[in-house]
Chain A
């Protein structure tokens, strides 16, 4: 059911854990199936220098967290913000349609962590371009 890449990131997840005194933390819950993802970012000079996660969820959720943290490392905040759930899913060589919402969770976790950082710095939080990401879910909840 899962691609080799998903299984690889599920079985050998990169960046599991927490960052002490993280600059940005984003905890998101999945409205579709009730799972939870927590993203920790270390940010220096507008660059994500470290990213870690903790996830309570399915294989796709764990693999998406792992891949998303990989993708944002080394990126500027602006670039990291642009890492979409599709990019995460593509990097994982695809997710089953019903599991796309798990990658949405990763995108939202990253966004929340970035905004947590921005708010702490006294900056305006960025606005979700696609606040109704649940729409993806409706599209994918077919069976």
Chain B
């Protein structure tokens, strides 16, 4: 290993921080470190920096700056949006609608609220991971107070029909939250046009720092606080502001939304070449997620007869960073709830591999993966009892 070049294809897990972002952040560690709540002038610098980041973030979403609240990241934003709206609107009803393929920050929050007496409907998705707006509308009751559906899925990259779902929520006067953690910089977002009342985002998914995120809360939305304490963020989110992080978020979101179509086209070209190459070179492979409505950098594929963790170990040996929906890597030893929700059989979800491309990648990286991956799959299939069986039945192999 040693000086081996790392091929990073796990941008949906996290991204590197852009040098411009780091440069923008540094003065706020060393010079302008004042607590924005203080009145002396170095504190004013911090305050101004946060305001500027708020403007940058608002602009990226089509929101007003005073609708942006900085948080510690996507999980906090999701928790705040869902618990905050649930508790503040409890008198109106106790029903929440979400989807089966949400991030755990949403799913586990909903499960927590179920213990608190709320009722939650988990909408199914089709084989590509899409929520059907008609099914959403049918699930609405007079007790429904919140609909929370992710903008784009982190595992299979499927982009949900957010504007349509938002319009249904609006029609029924129900708050609509979307976890847009994966979508920022990949799809143009306009919270007003898309009828979004609350939106979560996280800086480290778009070349900003970890530990910083934001929640967009439309003016007038009734929401409880999640973090109690001081009067920061207009009394809605206590805690001394992570100034350098917020500055980094602002810079990063400005950069990543500057040219979404151009940037996506570049990433998509690499991704498409990778998809084509892999599917052509490896038999018994299937693309997971929607072929069209998917994030530009996302490639999720299942290889039959093999298991994902062993694939990752071999890829890591070649310096390739990827992830899998296999039960064996999940910590809970459960296969990916997203893949299962699309109807994928457990054995096939076991052999899933997610490669998410982004600015760390070049065409050369695609070449390397195209060279390495078929060998890895072949090696593991050679030792798989399933592959052999299937070969005997004349089902597969070349």
List chain A positions with a Cβ less than 8 A from chain B: 2, 7, 10-11, 13, 16-18, 27, 32-38, 53-59, 61-62, 98, 101, 141, 143
Which residues B323-359 have CB closer than 8 A to chain A? 326-329, 331-333, 335, 346-347, 350
Query: Which residues of B have CB within 8 Å of A33?
Result: 326-328, 333, 335
Task: List 9 extra interface pairs beyond A33-B333, A34-B350, CB under 8 A.
Answer: A10-B310, A10-B313, A38-B385, A54-B383, A54-B384, A54-B385, A54-B388, A59-B310, A98-B333
Query: Which residues of A have CB within 8 Å of B329?
Result: 58
26 interchain pairs (CB within 8 A)? A7-B313, A11-B317, A17-B383, A32-B327, A33-B326, A33-B327, A33-B333, A33-B335, A34-B346, A34-B350, A35-B350, A54-B384, A54-B385, A54-B388, A55-B385, A56-B306, A56-B350, A56-B384, A56-B387, A57-B310, A58-B307, A58-B310, A58-B326, A62-B383, A98-B333, A141-B333
Most chain B beta-carbon neighbours within 10 Å: one of A57, A59, A61, A62: A57
Query: Which residues of B have CB within 8 Å of A56?
Result: 305-307, 350, 384-387
Given contacts A13-B383, A27-B385, contact A35 B306 (CB under 8 A): no
Query: Which residues of A have CB within 8 Å of B327?
Result: 32-34
Given contacts A16-B383, A36-B386, A38-B385, contact A57 B317 (CB under 8 A): no
- Is the CB–CB distance between A98 and B335 below 8 Å? no
**Complex alpha-carbon distance, A36 and B387, angstroms:** 11
**Complex alpha-carbon distance, A33 and B325, angstroms:** 12
Task: Kindly count the residue-residue contacts between A and B in the assembled complex, taking CB atoms under 8 Å apart.
Answer: 70
Which residues B373-387 have CB closer than 8 A to chain A? 382-387
Which listed residue (B309, B332, B346) contacts A58, Cβ 8 A?
B309
- Is the CB–CB distance between B384 and A55 below 8 Å? yes
Most chain A beta-carbon neighbours within 10 Å: one of B332, B333, B382: B333
Most chain B beta-carbon neighbours within 10 Å: one of A16, A56, A57, A141: A56
Residue of A nearest to B387 (CB): A56
Residue of B nearest to A54 (CB): B385
**Complex alpha-carbon distance, A57 and B309, angstroms:** 8
Which listed residue (A7, A27, A38, A57) contacts B328, Cβ 8 A?
A57
- Is the CB–CB distance between B313 and A59 below 8 Å? yes
Query: Which residues of A have CB within 8 Å of B382?
Result: 16
Given contacts A56-B305, A56-B306, A58-B328, contact A37 B385 (CB under 8 A): yes
List chain B positions with a Cβ less than 8 A from chain A: 305-307, 309-310, 313-314, 317, 326-329, 331-333, 335, 346-347, 350, 382-388
- Is the CB–CB distance between B383 and A55 below 8 Å? yes
**Shortest beta-carbon distance, B303 to chain A, in Å?**
11
**Shortest beta-carbon distance, A103 to chain B, in Å?**
13
Query: Which residues of A have CB within 8 Å of B388?
Result: 18, 54
- Is the CB–CB distance between B385 and A36 below 8 Å? yes
- Is the CB–CB distance between B347 and A34 below 8 Å? yes
Query: Which residues of A have CB within 8 Å of B386?
Result: 36, 56
Residue of A nearest to B335 (CB): A34
**Complex alpha-carbon distance, A35 and B309, angstroms:** 12
Given contacts A59-B309, A62-B310, contact A143 B331 (CB under 8 A): yes
Residue of A nearest to B313 (CB): A59
Residue of A nearest to B349 (CB): A34
**Complex alpha-carbon distance, A27 and B383, angstroms:** 14
Which listed residue (A27, A57, A101) contacts B307, Cβ 8 A?
A57
Query: Which residues of A have CB within 8 Å of B383?
Result: 13, 16-17, 53-55, 62
- Is the CB–CB distance between A98 and B331 below 8 Å? yes
**Shortest beta-carbon distance, A68 to chain B, in Å?**
14
- Is the CB–CB distance between A35 and B328 below 8 Å? yes
**Complex alpha-carbon distance, A141 and B314, angstroms:** 25
**Complex alpha-carbon distance, A54 and B380, angstroms:** 10
Residue of A nearest to B334 (CB): A33
**Shortest beta-carbon distance, B352 to chain A, in Å?**
13
**Complex alpha-carbon distance, A38 and B386, angstroms:** 10
Residue of A nearest to B331 (CB): A143
**Shortest beta-carbon distance, A34 to chain B, in Å?**
5
**Complex alpha-carbon distance, A59 and B306, angstroms:** 11
Query: Which residues of A have CB within 8 Å of B332?
Result: 141, 143
**Shortest beta-carbon distance, A80 to chain B, in Å?**
20
**Complex alpha-carbon distance, A57 and B310, angstroms:** 7
Query: Which residues of A have CB within 8 Å of B305?
Result: 56
**Shortest beta-carbon distance, A41 to chain B, in Å?**
15
